[in-house]
Amino acid sequence: MESGQEDELTKSGLVGKRLIQVRRAFYEFEGTVERDEGLIELSFSDGVSVRFDVGADGESLATREGPWVDPFAPPHSIENEEYIRTHGKYSAFDVSVEDPYREMIGREVSGVHSVIEQMGHKCSGIVIEFGDLRLLIEVVADGLYVSYSGA
């Protein structure tokens, strides 16, 4: 994989925005939350929210503006209650005070770079830089994974 290609987010002005909140959507079933993978949403001081998730093809990164809306938010129909009880659902969690995200809160985005999958030439991830801190958001085997590097 290679990174460094210009991304639409760079053009839209993500660089220079100050991060104020990070939410993750994790799968929740029978009181257990699977925190290994799931959507990530970044919110900035100017009111813009950007969310990253797995694209419809299961291989590329999908980027959308605006906060994530829970499709199973109450009130629930009888069918939705049964589905949630039987299968579980994704729920949003504010992870802003958790490592590594807390180190990025209040910092400005200094760079945005696409991660391009070599074989298919699809954007499979993105690196968002906050000075010396880097957030890698990447699609791997139909899951969205987030990792961190920095000082």
Reported pTM: 0.87
pLDDT of residue 43: 97
- 3-state SS of the chain is CEEEECCHHHHHCCCCCEEEEEEEEEEEECCEEECCCCCEEEEECCCCEEEEEECCCCCCEEEEECCCCCCCCCCCCHHHHHHHHHHCEEEEEECCCCCCHHHCCCCECCEEEEEEECCCCEEEEEEEEECCEEEEEEEECCEEEEEEECC
pLDDT averaged over 10-residue windows placed end to end, the chain, 151 residues: 44 86 95 92 96 92 92 87 92 95 96 82 90 95 91 60
pLDDT of residue 112: 92
